[in-house]
Amino acid sequence: MKQRIDLALRAYVAHPNTPQSDAEDEVTHIIEGERDGFKVKVHIQARDPADAIEKYHKLIDKERKNVISNIRLANRI
Protein backbone atom coordinates (compact mmCIF):
# COMPACT_ATOMS: atom_id res chain seq x y z
CA MET A 1 0.00 0.00 0.00
CA LYS A 2 1.22 3.47 -0.86
CA GLN A 3 2.37 5.47 2.16
CA ARG A 4 0.74 8.84 2.81
CA ILE A 5 2.79 11.93 2.15
CA ASP A 6 2.05 15.23 3.91
CA LEU A 7 3.66 18.30 2.36
CA ALA A 8 3.69 21.79 3.83
CA LEU A 9 1.43 20.75 6.71
CA ARG A 10 0.77 23.60 9.15
CA ALA A 11 -1.50 24.30 12.10
CA TYR A 12 -2.72 27.53 13.64
CA VAL A 13 -5.47 28.73 15.95
CA ALA A 14 -8.83 29.33 14.31
CA HIS A 15 -9.66 32.44 16.34
CA PRO A 16 -7.64 35.18 18.03
CA ASN A 17 -6.67 34.62 21.66
CA THR A 18 -8.99 36.05 24.29
CA PRO A 19 -8.90 35.85 28.09
CA GLN A 20 -11.63 33.19 27.83
CA SER A 21 -9.79 31.08 25.23
CA ASP A 22 -6.53 31.41 27.20
CA ALA A 23 -8.31 29.77 30.15
CA GLU A 24 -9.45 26.76 28.09
CA ASP A 25 -7.45 23.52 27.89
CA GLU A 26 -8.05 23.17 24.15
CA VAL A 27 -9.09 25.54 21.37
CA THR A 28 -9.92 25.05 17.71
CA HIS A 29 -6.90 24.77 15.42
CA ILE A 30 -6.90 24.62 11.65
CA ILE A 31 -4.65 22.10 9.91
CA GLU A 32 -3.85 22.95 6.29
CA GLY A 33 -1.62 21.25 3.82
CA GLU A 34 -1.43 18.67 1.11
CA ARG A 35 -1.92 14.92 1.49
CA ASP A 36 -1.39 12.51 -1.38
CA GLY A 37 -1.75 15.38 -3.85
CA PHE A 38 -5.00 16.71 -2.34
CA LYS A 39 -5.38 19.94 -0.39
CA VAL A 40 -6.68 19.39 3.14
CA LYS A 41 -8.20 21.72 5.71
CA VAL A 42 -9.32 20.25 9.03
CA HIS A 43 -10.53 21.81 12.29
CA ILE A 44 -9.29 20.04 15.44
CA GLN A 45 -9.58 20.83 19.15
CA ALA A 46 -6.05 20.84 20.59
CA ARG A 47 -3.76 22.41 23.21
CA ASP A 48 -1.36 23.91 20.66
CA PRO A 49 -0.43 23.59 16.97
CA ALA A 50 1.92 20.63 17.58
CA ASP A 51 -0.85 18.78 19.45
CA ALA A 52 -3.25 19.55 16.57
CA ILE A 53 -0.85 18.03 14.01
CA GLU A 54 -0.35 14.95 16.20
CA LYS A 55 -4.14 14.50 16.49
CA TYR A 56 -4.48 14.93 12.73
CA HIS A 57 -1.96 12.15 12.11
CA LYS A 58 -3.78 9.85 14.56
CA LEU A 59 -7.07 10.58 12.81
CA ILE A 60 -5.59 9.82 9.38
CA ASP A 61 -3.93 6.61 10.66
CA LYS A 62 -7.25 5.46 12.15
CA GLU A 63 -9.02 6.25 8.87
CA ARG A 64 -6.44 4.28 6.90
CA LYS A 65 -6.76 1.25 9.20
CA ASN A 66 -10.55 1.32 8.80
CA VAL A 67 -10.23 1.40 5.01
CA ILE A 68 -7.78 -1.53 5.05
CA SER A 69 -10.09 -3.48 7.37
CA ASN A 70 -13.08 -2.81 5.09
CA ILE A 71 -11.10 -3.95 2.04
CA ARG A 72 -10.17 -7.19 3.81
CA LEU A 73 -13.83 -7.79 4.78
CA ALA A 74 -14.99 -7.08 1.23
CA ASN A 75 -12.46 -9.56 -0.16
CA ARG A 76 -13.89 -12.31 2.07
CA ILE A 77 -17.35 -11.99 0.52
- Residue ranges of domains in the chain: 6-76
Distance, in Å, from the CA atom of 55 to the CA atom of 68, rounded to the nearest integer, reads 20
**Per-residue b or e along 14-49, where b marks 16 or more CB atoms closer than 10 Å to that residue's CB:** eeeeeeeeeeeeebebbbebebeeeeeebebebeee
Q: What is the pTM of this model?
A: 0.75
Average pLDDT of the chain? 86
Distance CA 21, CA 45 (A): 12
The model's pLDDT over 19-45, given as tens digits with 9 standing for 90+, comes to: 999 999 999 999 999 877 889 899 999
The CB-side HSE value for 51 (13 A sphere, CA atoms) comes to 11
